[in-house]
Chains A and B, each alone.
Chain A
Amino acid sequence: MNIESRLLTDKKITVIEPSGRFDAHYETAMKKQIRQAFETGPHIIVNLTTVHFVDSTALATLVQGMKQAREQNGDLLISGLQQPVRIIFELTRLDKAFRIFATLEEAIASAS
């Protein structure tokens, strides 16, 4: 799985884009990306448009990032859930913990 990350400089938001199967193997890499994002600011969007599966470790990593962001008066938003991943968020009711957007654009608009 690949993780791309880019900073929207004008808005001071970091967009992190994992792709494929987001599972325990990428825990360290993802935590690193989130940590690096925080160096610029507490606003992160994790765009999951190309992710087809998330496991419990991935979800726990996202929750940790969200809590850290909120502690710094920012947030970690989720966007672009594919159907199978949306189901996982709904069954674990993590859809009640995160602010989730259908598209990256909507998430960016909300964070700005």
Chain B
Amino acid sequence: MTKTILVVEDELTLQELVSYQLKKEGYHVLMAGNGPDALDLVKNEEQPDLILLDVMLPNMDGFQIAGSLRDNQATARIPIIFLTARSTIKDKLTGFDSGAVDYMTKPFKISELKARIKAHLNLVDTAQEQGRAKLDHEMAQAADIQQRLMPQVLPSIPGLELFARCQPAQQVGGDFFDVTARPDKELVFSQADVSGKGLPAALLMSSVLTALWAGANSRSTPGEILQKLNRDFYQRLTDMGKLVTAFTGIYHTETRQITYTNAGHSAIVYCPAGKHPVLLEADGPPLGTLPELLSKQQQLTLNPGDLLLIASDGLTEAEAGDGAMFGYDRLLHSVKQLADRPAEKIGQTLYQQVTDFATGYTQFDDQTLLILKGVA
């Protein structure tokens, strides 16, 4: 990538000479003849990768300019090489004190200047790479923790086959699912999507998931669970400007009934054995939208062969090269085709279909899928 060098020098011939030589080396060169112009360029036009700074400038001297750049977090890390005729040890120390990384005494050889510039730019690159590697490592650990917050092993429930997977777009994300078996053989299953992506969404996801566990491990109904989540999180979600779409259902083993509540979470597909799949629409907006939850509790039955599929919008909104989205029609069509297979197979195939559809395009949003299939 082309590096940008800012040359701040009031002696025009030198400014032109240095700029010409640097451009020959392949650098992009910015020029300024005084402090205020230089600071203005950095602030409003382009941040250079390195600055050559004359010490003796009209109005503001080089040390003051360097100090000003150091004080601003955005520019504090740009390496500065002083160019000056003043070469007493005191001058040099003042120079280094004001934050410069190197000091060239005039007259200097242009070849030496080029060599030092190259060395300093390499140092910056190495430091940045190390910083990125450290961050990547931490994010990988965070991703691992986040995945482990979701059940690694799904409970075995009579009459049901289960599939569950959460695939974040970035290393961490705002989608999650939970599957909790209650002592009385009820299965509480949930899926939610925090608005946004990446680390901010992941942090909030963690909080909401913990609160959800409390509800899942209690004797509350899905409606009660989501109502409590909405009440507990409403103020914070308002302050943060975030929403959480959420679906919670409870499967009752004895009756094969599923009671559920859906707060703005789209893509719930119900496919009774041998029939056409239907999209179950939410009846209330996401958590954090209104002070009281609008969503009412609903009910359905999962007889052998029946299928309930809950997908986050990262699947339906997956984009192909031409901008087309996977969409709900395609989802329903896929479900119809795959409905008689085991839950595991349906889940894996659907993920594969979405990946194939969006071939060549980076996954843009978290993709979560939860499948319950009735078996004899």
The reply to whether B288 and A63 contact each other, CB–CB distance below 8 Å, is yes
Stretch of A43-51, A52-60, A74-82 with 4 or more beta carbons under 8 angstroms from chain B: A52-60
Stretch of B30-38, B77-85, B193-201 with 4 or more beta carbons under 8 angstroms from chain A: B193-201
The reply to whether B294 and A56 contact each other, CB–CB distance below 8 Å, is no
Closest Cβ neighbor of B365 among chain A residues? A55
User: Which of B197, B238, B264, B365 is the one whose CB lies under 8 Å from A92?
Assistant: B264
Interface residues of B in 304-356 (CB under 8 A from A): 313, 317
Question: A96: CB under 8 A from chain B?
Answer: yes
B231 → chain A closest CB, angstroms: 15
The reply to whether A91 and B282 contact each other, CB–CB distance below 8 Å, is yes
Question: B272: CB under 8 A from chain A?
Answer: no
Closest Cβ neighbor of A89 among chain B residues? B285
For the complex, what is the distance from the CA of A47 to the CA of B240, rounded to whole Å? Answer: 24
Tell which of A57, A59, A93, A94 has the most Cβ of chain B within 10 Å: A93
One digit per residue, 1 when the CB lies within 8 angstroms of any chain B CB and 0 when it does not, for chain A 5-30 equals 00000000000000000001000000
User: Which of B197, B267, B285, B289 is the one whose CB lies under 8 Å from A24?
Assistant: B197
Question: B243: CB under 8 A from chain A?
Answer: yes
The reply to whether A94 and B285 contact each other, CB–CB distance below 8 Å, is yes
For the complex, what is the distance from the CA of A57 to the CA of B196, rounded to whole Å? Answer: 5
Question: A86: CB under 8 A from chain B?
Answer: no
Question: B286: CB under 8 A from chain A?
Answer: yes
Tell which of A56, A63, A96 has the most Cβ of chain B within 10 Å: A56
Interface residues of B in 235-282 (CB under 8 A from A): 238, 241-243, 245, 263-267, 281-282
Name the B residues within 8 Å of A57 (CB-CB).
195-196
The reply to whether B284 and A96 contact each other, CB–CB distance below 8 Å, is yes
Closest Cβ neighbor of B268 among chain A residues? A91
The reply to whether A96 and B294 contact each other, CB–CB distance below 8 Å, is yes
Question: A67: CB under 8 A from chain B?
Answer: yes
For the complex, what is the distance from the CA of A31 to the CA of B241, rounded to whole Å? Answer: 10
Name the A residues within 8 Å of B285 (CB-CB).
92-94, 96-97
Knowing A91-B266, A92-B264, A92-B266, say if A56 contacts B281 (CB, 8 Å).
no
The reply to whether A63 and B282 contact each other, CB–CB distance below 8 Å, is no
Name the A residues within 8 Å of B195 (CB-CB).
56-57, 59-60
Q: Sorted from nearest, which 10 A-B pairs have the closest CB atoms?
A: A91-B266, A64-B241, A56-B195, A60-B195, A92-B264, A60-B243, A93-B285, A93-B282, A97-B285, A97-B289
**Could you show 19 A-B contacts with beta carbons less than 8 Å apart?**
A31-B241, A55-B317, A57-B195, A59-B195, A60-B241, A63-B288, A63-B289, A91-B266, A92-B264, A92-B265, A92-B266, A92-B285, A92-B286, A93-B281, A93-B283, A94-B264, A96-B285, A96-B294, A97-B290
Q: Kindly list 10 other residue pairs between chains A and B, CB separation below 8 angstroms, not including A63-B243, A90-B281.
A: A24-B196, A24-B197, A57-B195, A60-B196, A92-B285, A93-B281, A93-B284, A93-B285, A97-B285, A97-B289
Give A residues with C-beta under 8 Å from B: 24, 31, 55-57, 59-61, 63-64, 67, 90-94, 96-97
